[in-house]
Structure 1
Amino acid sequence: MHRLVAVIAPTESQAEDMLEPFSEDVEVEPYVSQPRADYIKEGRSLQQWIIAHAESDTEREEARRLLALDDNGFLHWLAEDEGVELDKDGNPLSTFNPNAAWDWYERDGRWADITTPLQGVTVQDWLHPQDGTPLVPAALVVMGGWHDPQWVEPVNDMDDLKELTAGRGAERVWFYDCHQ
């Protein structure tokens, strides 16, 4: 899925630096991705689905064998099968960026016809264009974090956009096509 993302930053280089913390490629320190019990429950649910939908008897028999394991045995099989590391309490660990919002991006991208003339304009000029209709992105990045309101009708959400950009009229805005 492609999303038009506006980044408020002094320069294009700084805008790209601000996008970086939201990359799927950023590795973070291992953290518990979900509680042990939920991980086991999801794994067992998948095995039950396999029993109901698998095309081969071999797959169904293997799923039944796995479901017969106690929680500890099933947990260790599941973690090994998925290549997941567990903490000392058996909770699955992850180094996937929990703040990830994109896997790649490009300046302008599929919106180049609209965004190229707007690259680097002030927030004031962006929000108050001469034609009266500002370009409303799917998400906005400002210093301090990723703001991603669930805009359904972008034109109706100017209040959200104005609130997020308050006091930034003289700052510059850059537009990116972010893929997720």
Structure 2
Amino acid sequence: MSHYSLAVITDEPDNIEKMLAPYDESIEVEPYIDITKEEIIKHAKERKEGYIKAVENGEELRDWQQEYLNANTDEELYKLERYEDEEYDENGNMLSKYNPNSKWDWYEIGGRWHNEILVKENVEDAISGSPSFMDLSSHFKDSDNGFMWVDGARIKDIQFGKMEELKNQNNYYGMYWDLFVDSKEPETDEEKKFIEENINFYKREYYLERYGTKEYFIKQKSMFICHALLDESGWHEVGAMGWFGIDDSTKDSETVFTEKFNEVLKNPDNQNKYLVIVDCHI
């Protein structure tokens, strides 16, 4: 399962619960067709083909796998794929009550992204949420006097330029590229500690295809952005979140989402609205 950051844009922070409600994974909806009978049969045929090849390669099948080889009609194959604990309609389509708009099963303001937003100390209506045992942004939490980190604030009060400056001050993303993309051997104690404290899930080719250059990588990673955005127009995200914090985003989807995110933040009509960071789990 995964955690990800969500930016909620709202006139009133008290509206956050209501705005998130339609995306609750625990909601049961009216039954809808999840998998058609034709898709079920197609999957059964693919299984059968796989078992045929397994036998040709000298593998021994289990009894339930052998049943696929004994099935000679689509209907017989369909019955092998039909499960007692699932619900079907009169046409044999598998039904589901799972909320198709599910985005979270738990959330809290702040959490792993606690104190992600920088404002001046004299801002009165900033929002503070709850910290998590795991802080995913602590590498740039130092700030100058006169500023403070919070979990939400009016967009007009957020110090976006200062936040980007602080992200860049210790060359975090430059070092990340050097050590994980260019495979530079760590020489200093700082670089060795960096390797110990950070994890890289991708191969070098991913970064080169996605970002091209070290300079563009630093630019993209230094800007303020979240995985998803929720405003009055609905839910927007860079990609569908999967296991272990890995999403299915692409270079194109990241570009589209970044443009949307920045468009919302720069919209003059939104400057008096709140931006609140929410830690979502799914």
State the TM-score, normalizing by the size of structure 2. Answer: 0.53
1:175 Cα shift?
1.1
> Is the CA contact 2:51–2:69 (under 8 Å) kept in the aligned structure 1?
no
Q: CA RMSD in A?
A: 3.1
Q: Who is 1:159 aligned against?
A: 259
Q: Who is 1:72 aligned against?
A: 75
1:132 Cα shift?
5.3
1:135 Cα shift?
2.8
State the percentage of identical aligned residues.
Answer: 28
Q: Does 1:139 align with 2:228?
A: yes
3-state SS of paired residue (1:93): strand
Q: Cα deviations across residues 84-126 of structure 1 (Å, max 9, x unaligned)?
A: 2112221111111111112222221111142543334112333
3-state SS of paired residue (2:160): coil
Q: Who is 2:91 aligned against?
A: 89
Summarize the Cα distance change of 1:57–1:13 in structure 2 as closer, same or farther, 3 Å threshold: farther
Q: Cα deviations across residues 38-89 of structure 1 (Å, max 9, x unaligned)?
A: 1222244356657749xx9562x311213433322332442225x2211222
Cα distance in structure 1, aligned partners of 2:275 and 2:79: 49
Cα distance in structure 2, aligned partners of 1:74 and 1:4: 43
Cα distance in structure 1, aligned partners of 2:154 and 2:114: 18
Larger strand share, 1 or 2: 2
Q: Who is 1:177 aligned against?
A: 279
Q: Who is 2:65 aligned against?
A: 63
> Is the CA contact 2:51–2:65 (under 8 Å) kept in the aligned structure 1?
yes
3-state SS of paired residue (2:29): coil
Query: Structure 1, unaligned stretches of length 5 or more?
Result: none
Structure with larger RCO (C-alpha < 8 A, sep 6+): 1
1:136 Cα shift?
1.1
Summarize the Cα distance change of 1:149–1:158 in structure 2 as closer, same or farther, 3 Å threshold: closer
Query: Structure 2, unaligned stretches of length 5 or more?
Result: 118-127, 129-148, 165-222, 240-248
State the TM-score, normalizing by the size of structure 1. Answer: 0.78
